[in-house]
Structure 1
């Protein structure tokens, strides 16, 4: 009923999503605190004693104005480029300088995803696909208009990527970017329309041009044998993660329900880039990962699967719901021990990885939320915030409770490095390139039920049906 000063954040059922909201509310009161402090001192009176100890990274201003007629190296505060490189970028943007709002570097995960895009000769493992059906064309047009309004609001949805001829890749925010909609005809007797669309625009064969914003492509088609319209949306992982898709879905709905005036001011993605580039102490990242990984000289590969540069073809999927009783027991155990349920799941996954790879010292990738140190408004900003980093667990004779506390502490430490580069972390290990450090990934994620639209009609938007989505990574066991 009441929360007291001696209560423990995790015993009350706290988790990473709530942690981000807590940090955001503290930040608005100018009471910054590091997220690892919350994990290390989850009792409220202990946490209170640490408030105000964390200084935010000062995000340098964007010096490109609407009236700017030229862009010079001094105007770019979040990337180092020569004048020649800037001119090369300007040449790629329709409308030139007048249509450029900002230019900055990539976050570490964006760097990694761009690498995999360039590595793949056909298709792209990081193109996310979703499909919807609309009762009639007018409703589809209204939806597309709403999506364009959301694109107009958010920088990341008007961002293109340029790398050819540059010393380091850049992302370029266009002032105006029109959503590209392509209409195709489906075969009357070629089977279900959604399957036909999926085959034609399968990311295993299909790519999009990363130099043209928005990095979102829409394909529409009349469904054979009915009056419905189908929509297939391709969104590149470079500009979004799961939380971003939820925010986008909610904003599009708000526009369709004529509630656009209620939406909060959009947060620029440059804040995250500033945190990753200026806030991250590369030396501290290096020391942390060396301490964790220096003695690991062999890859952790469950079932001997070493191909971590795959294209996502030949994937098998299984969906299992935890029985309610087991779910309740897991939550009760996490609370009893004052740790997050995520920590318990990481330890369990570590056991799976240990058994399937025959190792006691296991390393696997964990997907970090990426919004813990992403500046003001990070809980509702759009863009690619998540990051994948290695977590190392020693699954020797230590008892479960002690192992769980160690796992929780290790994840708390990792959060302080959530924007470190995976390449840097891998270099700190004793595993020689090009062998991968790990072949398994755990994505522990908080889903809000409203965003998991299932295959039902969207409430408030009658005539719209969600047909599902697909996301892939290049890790063999996820």
Structure 2
């Protein structure tokens, strides 16, 4: 295999301390180094049961001591790090495993492979892919009679294994010399790994009674790199309520078109006045700060009036998408205790039971009052056109979006005004949105991507195009709308955008689009799927941007502007840098900072975190944890459940969901990673990978079977 090499020298004092530790524990220096190497591999791989190979001279018989020849054999050393032992305890395990292996060193490695019948492939050696060898090097020049010999350095261009660590003892201490597959590892990764090994060895000799998950491996420079970009920038302006920022534009440009839908439109003044009238009506019904108001509307101008009216009344809107099953809508209404539902008369039969009388919300009935913007508008229109004094502050709730829960019941995510307001303030230097931009509201208002679409237009004086449901369901019709409305900012999931690419590719003469940005979110992006797009479009017209986010962190967390050069990246999905007022940390299962390049779970901190979950303090405490690196009182991190890793350039790469990991033949496999690899093939548009367990007979005699897991 194509290979390369790297080396790092350990100080003589550290070598002496390791030797002293080995003598103290009645084992060899090799065993101490092997135990440390096992820990390092466990941290990098996330596994606690694997095998490491080593070479042995195999000259333990007197008959062959004086024979010239090659008798070296390979031994397989099992690494068992289960139960989080202390280093001393792990060293005892390694000692027993090593002595057992030495006892059977006469068994040729090839015979072992023949007996075990492991799955073979051309990409690696069976049973072992990583080797460790300890050897003592002769110092200086060796003389024999008239012959003088000295070692020379040669450039390593091949590697027999994925990774081989040679630990060479000489007069200057210990030399860690690594030979590695250059197709698997970058040189910078190996340099960091060697630095991690040195830090680990120093920690071991300092306190061998530490549990292995508590032993540090990060060098100071790497730790500083991981933490250096994690200081949130202060917001450029004080946070405001969303409706107040909108009202500023309504006063400055009253005749500008604010929203259009299916041939109808409202100017900023018209939208503001209609929302004000609804807000005054809702205020008269008891809506104010922290009061939840259900919102069930078809895609229309009234949908935007409803959202703004609820916010202007001081309340928080709770999306009730009429396409949802009645059972889900009933759960949401019961959970948020909404006294009022803003809706349309045509949707009443899809909603759980409501009441239509004008009795007060506490008038003896538990049913929410339905305010229908179509039937009730004559009464609402009697209210004032002026902005109401809602009393809501930036810290008050703006909306509650319910997301799917692992228990089967949706959970309500609580988002205040200030979280959305700072999202746009923090990203303004990247996008420079303005009054000339035209946005589409393509996604359901029950999906948090809609928050970005809605306020990206209305907080900057832009024009919002509400996409009718039938148009959203037809890629051809949606493409025509993008052209006719001259949309400049398009937000899409990657799968939806692939359909747009396909439609455009089939056109003899593509229509004239005005797009400035296409912003991806909502699901992992396979960058190679954009090859057809870049074959027809330049890098910056429009600029494609990949953004990762979660409802609990207010839509977006990271930002990565894409270019044609990304197509050559052999990675699944680069999601980029954190938004300036957010922090991203990657932790391993023991809550240690993961080294650069090592997969771990993403935790997010900073200004964008949700308040928590509605009526679920237990779940909120589990997912929103105390911030370990912040001195700010009450600072938290959100546990995303997503598997990522830092790249050397400081950007994050998305690898999939942690709970999508499976184990096949002892290997932990991320299904999303396999899917991304399959989608890189030009003939594959979509890919789904699952694990299938087939019953395979253990023998012809006993009739028993075992589950043979394979990926399909």
Q: Normalized against structure 2, the TM-score is what?
A: 0.22
The structure whose RCO (Cα within 8 Å, separation 6+) is larger is 1
The structure in which a higher percent of residues are helix is 1
Structure number with greater Rg is 2
The structure in which a higher percent of residues are strand is 2
